[in-house]
Structure 1
Amino acid sequence: MRHITVLFVLALTASGLTGCTVETQVGTPSAGRILGAPTADLPPKEGLLAAVDALDGTSHTYKIKQGNKTGEGRIDPANKAAMMSMGGRVEKLDISVAYTVVAPELWVKADFGPLLNKEWGLDPAHWLRIDRSKVGASATLPIDPAGAPRLGLTELCKDGLGEVERTDATHYKGTVDVTAADTVLAPSSDAVRKAGTKAKAVPFTATVDAKGRLTDFTVDGDAIDPELSMRLTFAGFGSVQPVTEPADAIPAPDSVYELFE
């Protein structure tokens, strides 16, 4: 499905988060970094990247805050499963979008209000099973080609981190290029266009725990554009509820696939 930002805009215009992206990608940690290694023993940038890698090695929950939009989810890398929900008020509409991934399957649940739900064939009471063969190769999905969850932070930090400083043993600050990753939480093209080159160096702060796992990543874009600000918090390491196939899922109608184009 399109970027969540685009879905909010689509709902608003009756045709249809921002900041840092959140990817949880199941795979091999980046070369040269050891999961669980004391991040204070590494150069600042490598220490922060190691903390991000540590998220890929254990199940966890997360929360998102972007403007008036909030979200949450949980990740189970070992079972290639994840879920995410986002919601907020756009003008006078209460909008919500949720994803469930149990590799290689994907389900979506969305509520754009009665009129737009009817126009797009959305049933907010049921999860919609997505036939990935009907989704174009250029669509931005919360799932990679192998079926693993792909919601955003690993890519952003791998490709987008600029200068990184360590302020103490567990805290970092620096800048990040919020345009570096194309995932479901990427900034809208409108926000990026308005920000111009400033979007490539947005201030951030980060916190890791005693085991070197990322617990907080805050992108502060308010001075540039509030749409470039986001806070992510991570918790529940190793103790999340299983992510399972939605029991009430129904096949997505053809009209829903227009949202992926």
Structure 2
Amino acid sequence: MALTIAAVGLAGCETEVTTGPGTPGQARAIKPVQASASALPPAEALKGAVKALDTTSYNFGIKAGEVSGGGRIDPAAKSANMQLTGEVEKISISMAYIVIAPNLWFKGDFGDELNQHWGLKPGAWLLIDKTKLTSTASLPINDAGAPELGVTELFKDGLSAVERADATHFTGTVDMTLANSILAPSEDTLKGAGAKAKAVPFTATTDAEGRLTSFKIDGAGIDPNLSMELTFTGFGSIQPVTKPSNATKAPDSVYDLFN
């Protein structure tokens, strides 16, 4: 899947993402999804599994190509982190976000020339002043500063033709034109796919408690950039998201990445 990377100012570039999950750590109490999820209609059961990600902490992974990363989300603490590394249009990139509402930190490395242009120092965390942002659409936060990485937002409204292969496996289609986050396909990808982007095939898997463990979008037959695989692990047992040490205020030049 081509990820919208307006967030890193690489105009016209598309990223493809793989990711590894975070490391298990301190546990948080969680509520089981629904013990009788297998008795629900397929669409209702799957939407319930997606919605459940809003109420428990988890690690997530993304796999889609030449960029790799991962992260974790804790809805109760309104905190999250995300790391992405790889190559976009022959440019090596590395970027990471930490969100602890209402604060957002960023670090990035795009090579000497771009680093100098944007005032970046590899490995250095920068505190982002949200009042200097013209929009949060290209960042992993909502307007209130809470984490919104696009992991669940991508699927809440666009699932159709959902069928159940068995108690834990689902198929259907997802409308990728409804995506509006840093995980959304680029405008060029959607334009090229046309109406087909409204019904991209997917497969999904839940665990015995009805929690979503994987979601694979298979758009290869339409456009390779409409393919993505997400994994979810560590429900209720992730390391807490903590703010970076020695962070400094972002220079004005950094905001060219986001605005």
Q: Same fold judged by TM-score > 0.5?
A: yes
Q: Could you tell me which residue of structure 1 aligns to residue 245 of structure 2?
A: 247
Q: For residue 159 of structure 1, give the secondary structure of its aligned residue in structure 2.
A: coil
1:238 shift after superposition: 1.2
Q: For residue 155 of structure 2, give the secondary structure of its aligned residue in structure 1.
A: helix
Please give the alpha-carbon distance, in whole angstroms, between the structure 2 residues aligned to 1:73 and 1:222: 25
* Alignment RMSD: 2.2
Q: How has the CA–CA distance of structure 1 residues 139 and 152 changed in structure 2, closer, same or farther, with 3 Å as cutoff?
A: closer
The 5 A counterparts of 1:101-250 are: 101-137=99-135, 139-250=137-248
Which 5+ residue runs of structure 2 have no aligned equivalent? 18-30
1:225 shift after superposition: 1.1
Mapped contact 1:60–1:237 kept (Cα < 8 A):
yes
Please give the alpha-carbon distance, in whole angstroms, between the structure 2 residues aligned to 1:250 and 1:138: 20
- Give TM-score scaled by structure 2 length: 0.87
Please give the alpha-carbon distance, in whole angstroms, between the structure 1 residues aligned to 2:129 and 2:73: 22
Please give the alpha-carbon distance, in whole angstroms, between the structure 2 residues aligned to 1:169 and 1:183: 31
| Structure 1 moving runs of 4+ over 4 Å | 16-19
- Give TM-score scaled by structure 1 length: 0.86
1:141 shift after superposition: 2.2
Please give the alpha-carbon distance, in whole angstroms, between the structure 1 residues aligned to 2:144 and 2:32: 23
From 91, 94, 99, the equivalent of 1:93 is 91
1:68 shift after superposition: 1.5
Q: For residue 157 of structure 1, give the secondary structure of its aligned residue in structure 2.
A: coil
Greater per-residue strand proportion: 2
Q: Which amino acid aligns with 2:33?
A: G
Mapped contact 2:115–2:121 kept (Cα < 8 A):
yes
Mapped contact 1:35–1:50 kept (Cα < 8 A):
no
Q: Could you tell me which residue of structure 1 aligns to residue 5 of structure 2?
A: 5
Query: How many residues in Structure 1 have an aligned counterpart in Structure 2?
Result: 243
Q: Which amino acid aligns with 2:60?
A: Y
Which 5+ residue runs of structure 1 have no aligned equivalent? 20-33
Q: Which amino acid aligns with 2:128?
A: I
Deviations 1:195-229 (A, max 9, x none): 11111111100000011110000001111111111
Q: Could you tell me which residue of structure 1 aligns to residue 47 of structure 2?
A: 49
Deviations 1:150-207 (A, max 9, x none): 0113332222112111110001000001121211111111111111111111110000
